[in-house]
Amino acid sequence: MTSLRLTAAEIARAIQGRVEGDAAVIITGLAPIDQARPGDLTFVAQPRYLSYLDKTPAAAVLVDANYSASLANAVLIRVANPYFAFLQIAKNFFHPAPSFIGMHPTAIIGGNVRLGENLMIGPHVVIAPDCEIGDNVCIGALSYLGRGVKLGHRVVLFPQVHVAHGVRLGNDVIIQSGAVIGSDGFGYVKHEGAYHKIPHLGAVVLEDGVEIGANCTIDRGTFGETRIRRGTKLDNLVHLAHNVEVGEHTVIAAQTGVSGSTKIGNRVTIAGNAGLVGHIEIGDDVTIGARAGVSKSIPAGLTVWGYLAREHTLARREEAAQRRLPELLKRVRALEKALAQIAPETLAKINDSEA
């Protein structure tokens, strides 16, 4: 956290909010409402946190514009979306600045590299020949850029990011530590009992605003592209195989694996530890539940979960029925006992048909 000091009025102007109370109160930090201390800015985005409002020591609280009550001990800043406003303040005012601007003396820069302005290139970074780096880019320590990599403006690579040859990143891309972008895909041809590697000559393209979590692996295309479109976010430990396409503003949670040549639409939500087979299509606005196994294409707008993944209302009925199996078995035994007393011949026929 920085030592920045802002007034409630300055914060309200930045997020188009309306101050209720002392607009000159000083904000020196940020915190969730259950951990806030004097001088902090906090927020309430869910009703269950409203009970903290009358006892928080925070200097100011972001609340919904339609929130009806007022506070005696804290300033209110009314906004359309308190959580989003809080994130904007954190990003624009309190986000840690780079430790330095410039190039560390241990960095290695290849020939014919085009460097933009206002760069931070950390210790032991290696940039291979023919790369293009935009303005306001941060490249963390021990990161590697292969030959011909292109980075747009305001790209942030955290330490130990590997961006392989020919990869192209748009503007405002963020890649967390340990990610590997552009490795060869898992592609082999079996011939005469042995596996022969398929050359991966394609590329990876990350469009504007894409964020990649720590230790993700995104394989390059075999001969075409692996592409992640604008605004999509990947959690940690996500794997995308060769020739995968992901649409705009999609979110993929941790430990998800997507097999080769699968196409994922726009605004898709994929929960953690899901697995998708290759060569299928996931439509726009689909939601895939945690640990789902997706073996076939899913049309737009559907929610699926389970293994193998199926339409969620059917899956819920099946799981509810499974939970009732012990009870149902007891009822079946009771019915069999009653049937044996009143119609033993019928029960015998049923048992014979099952044998």
Considering the candidates 242, 249, 279, 312, report the single residue annotated as catalytic. Answer: 242
pLDDT digit string, tens, across residues 131-175: 999 999 999 999 999 999 999 999 999 999 999 999 999 999 999
Residues 6 or more apart in contact with residue 155 via CB below 8 angstroms: 134, 137, 138, 169, 171, 172, 173, 174, 175
**Extents of the domains making up the chain:** 6-94, 102-313, 325-354
How far apart (Å, rounded) are the C-alpha atoms in residues 276 and 81?
A: 34
Q: Is 242 a catalytic residue?
A: yes
| Confidence at residue 317, expressed as pLDDT on a 0 to 100 scale | 86
Residues of the chain short of pLDDT 70, as ranges, are 1-3, 70-72, 96-100, 354-355
| Confidence at residue 355, expressed as pLDDT on a 0 to 100 scale | 61
Q: Does domain 102-313 have CATH number 3.60.15.10?
A: no
Length of the chain: 355
pLDDT digit string, tens, across residues 33-73: 999 999 999 999 888 888 888 889 999 999 998 888 766 57
Q: What is the assigned CATH class of domain 6-94?
A: alpha beta
Phi-psi region of 279 (alpha: psi -120 to 50; beta: other; left: phi over 0): left
Q: Evaluate whether 285 touches 295 at the Cβ level (below 8 Å).
A: no
| Confidence at residue 156, expressed as pLDDT on a 0 to 100 scale | 96
DSSP assignment, residue 186?
S
| Confidence at residue 349, expressed as pLDDT on a 0 to 100 scale | 78
Residues 6 or more apart in contact with residue 88 via CB below 8 angstroms: 14, 15
Q: Considering the entire predicted model, what is its pTM?
A: 0.80
What value does the mean pLDDT of the chain take? 92
